[in-house]
Chains A and B, each alone.
Chain A
Amino acid sequence: MYLFEQEAESISMNTDFILLATRAVNQAILANESEIESLDREIGDGDHFINIKRGCATIVAMHDELAGLAPDAALQKIGMKLLSTIGGASGPLIGSFFMAMAKAVKEQGAETLPQIASSFAAGVEAIKHRGKADVGEKTMLDVLIPVSHTFSRLAAEGFERAELFEVLKREAEQGMLSTRDMVATKGRAAFLGARAIGHIDPGARTSQVIISTICDLAAAK
């Protein structure tokens, strides 16, 4: 508990951190362009990277109007913007994540690791609810759900911060790799049936890249 209390003083998901994270995520996504694109060509319909890239660029371009906002208002604004720019099925899923997270931050704050973990869990829950999907369907949820569970558990146990984010990175990677052997039952890979086996889900890979990037920032903070 000593560690938890100590960390509770020093970590906070403020708007500066959110902006820093979106810039870093934008760079990380661009750095993995060819790999994500080729995963999507194999079992998606080829527009995943275009949509994610457009979403990231839109948020980075909004930095000036986000900078003065409270964290919950910034998250809400990001969610609304992604909802209206990404479109298709990804827009509502990612938009819902940010809006649910915004609501949780507004209600509980984001000054301690357990609070941040709880707001992340609220976002993941919103994706599950909106997409009517769960673990094992070869989607981004195969990364997000295990990461969220572990985050909540370790935060409650008062894990040391740098170590906690290392564990989450490993969890994300395992989740991403686990999609390789799955048959998809949601999303556009679903019609491939057994043909999708052996391919990592592009949404899971994107989620893992994003989580890994944010964990590095949070651990170093």
Chain B
Amino acid sequence: MKKFINQVDDLLAESLSGFASAHHDLVSLHLDPNYLVRAQKAQNKVALISGGGSGHEPLHTGFVGYGMLDAACPGHVFTSPTPDQMLAAAEAAESGKGVLFIVKNYAGDIMNFEMAAEMLPFEHATVIISDDVAVENSTYTTGRRGVAGTVIVEKCVGSLAETGADLAACKALGDRVNGRTASMGVALTSCTVPAAGRPTFDIEHHELEMGVGIHGEPGRRREKMRSADEIVADLVGAILEDLQPAAGSDVLLMVNGFTGTPLMELYVLYNSAAKLLEQRGLNIIRSLVGDYTTSLEMAGASITVCLLDDEIRRHWDSPVHTAALRWGR
């Protein structure tokens, strides 16, 4: 293992401190329990709070700020955060209109957020993200996993919450965007959890893991390395089979890197996926390409398609100012 580390046990706190210091205009950090909130607390809006294991940066810390999250709770690497973090974050971010938790569908995350919700002294609701079409029952969950589509849900619900919409409306939009979003990923290499010190899974030089999860957990199958077009055809095929979009639909196409794959290759994937979507008669009216939901140093990428309508498109387009996503202000 060759990583930039002082002491493994200090890695998370040092990384969070660095992030908070680099983006002090946007966020403030609280340690023990660990959470990040907006530097300027928003008033009179639903407080959007997300969280999950660390190692997927910029998810979720990089999406705290105007137009997206009010707070994020980072757990240890690939380990769910705990309810005390969520309660403290809610206490700091709540501004009179309740709390909406945005949770990726993993057993640990679900249980910890569930317990926090039960203890919360505020009105609350939870949106569960389950956009990964790779496996119905994965290693860590019962049901589909939540992956890169989380970014789209956080962006759209964040925009709606900024208008002063109530908790029920924010929850409804979150569920609706989740239901219209599908993703699937592929890994070319493994990743190494710092505390474990060795790669999470073994993968040969000539192999890929089709349908990989964002912790390197198994996907659909192990197969021989193939061309970018062939890989994308499988990913897009599975996504469209799930979404069943009507010809003429407007879509957002996202190509998300897991960290180890250069942007140059991500655009190769985008080019290939865009052609396939256009062949199906879909209009790609919005796009996002880059590292947004990562898996430590893993090489690989995921493709996400979100079926847009006027409301979702409007919320996608609205101004946002976070460390990882910024436009319109």
Indicate whether A and B interact: yes
* A binding-site residues for B, Cβ under 8 Å: 46-47, 80, 83-89, 91-93, 95-96, 130-132, 186-188, 190-191
Least distance between A219 CB and chain B CB atoms (Å): 34
Q: Which of B91-99, B110-118, B260-268, B297-305 contacts A (4 or more CB under 8 A)?
A: B110-118
A-B contact pairs, 21 of them (CB 8 A): A83-B82, A84-B82, A86-B82, A87-B75, A87-B81, A87-B82, A87-B112, A89-B80, A89-B111, A91-B82, A91-B111, A92-B108, A92-B111, A92-B112, A93-B111, A131-B107, A186-B107, A188-B140, A190-B137, A191-B139, A191-B217
Q: Which of A91, A96, A191 contacts B218 (CB 8 A)?
A: A191
Q: Which of B173-222 contact A (CB under 8 A)?
A: 196, 217-218
Q: Please, which residues of chain B bring their CB within 8 A of the CB of A80? A: 84
Q: Whole-angstrom distance between the alpha carbons of A91 and B138 in the complex?
A: 20
Residue B142 interfacial (CB < 8 Å): yes
Closest to B75 in A: A87
How many B residues, CB 8 Å from partner?
A: 24
- Which residues from chain A contact B114 at a C-beta distance below 8 Å? 92, 130
Query: Cβ of A84 and Cβ of B83 under 8 Å apart?
Result: yes
Task: Convert B123-159 into 0s and 1s, putting 1 for each residue whose CB lies closer than 8 angstroms to a CB of A.
Answer: 0000000000000011110100000000000000000
Which residue on chain A has the smallest CB distance to residue B107? A89
- Show the binding face of B for A, using Cβ within 8 Å: 33, 75-76, 79-85, 107-108, 111-112, 114-115, 137-140, 142, 196, 217-218
Q: A46-B196, A188-B140, A190-B139 are in contact. Are A87 and B115 (CB under 8 A)?
A: no
A83–B84 touching, CB < 8 Å? yes
Q: Tell me if A87 and B196 are in contact (CB < 8 A).
A: no
Residues from chain B with a CB closer than 8 A to the CB of A93 are: 111
Pairwise interchain contact B84-A84, C-beta atoms closer than 8 A: yes
Q: Complex: how many Å from CA A129 to CA B220?
A: 30
Contact A95 B79 (CB under 8 A): no
A83, B115: Cβ atoms closer than 8 Å? yes
- Please tell me if the beta carbons of B108 and A88 are within 8 angstroms of each other in the complex: yes
Cα–Cα distance between A89 and B80 once the two chains are bound (Å): 8
Known contacts A87-B79, A88-B79, A191-B218; A130/B139 CB under 8 A: no
**A187 to B217 Cα, complex, angstroms:** 13
Give Cα distance in the complex from A86 to B140, angstroms: 17
* Chain B positions within 8 Å of A130 at CB level: 111, 114-115
Chain B contacts for A89, CB-based, 8 A: 80, 107-108, 111
Least CB distance, B195 to chain A, in whole angstroms: 8
Q: How far is the CA of A202 from the CA of B85 in the complex (A)?
A: 28
Contacts of B137 in A (CB 8 A): 190
Whether B138 contacts A191 by the Cβ 8 Å rule is yes
Query: Does the CB pair B112–A188 fall under 8 Å?
Result: no
Interchain nearest-CB distance for B177 vs A (Å): 26
Q: Which residues of B contact A188 (CB under 8 A)?
A: 139-140
Given A83-B115, A91-B82, residue A132 in contact with residue B142 (CB < 8 A): yes
Contacts of A131 in B (CB 8 A): 107, 111
Of chain A, the residue at the smallest CB distance from B76 is A87
Chain B neighbourhood of A46, CB < 8 A: 196
- Assess A83 versus B80: contact at CB under 8 Å? Given A89-B108, A130-B111, A132-B142: no
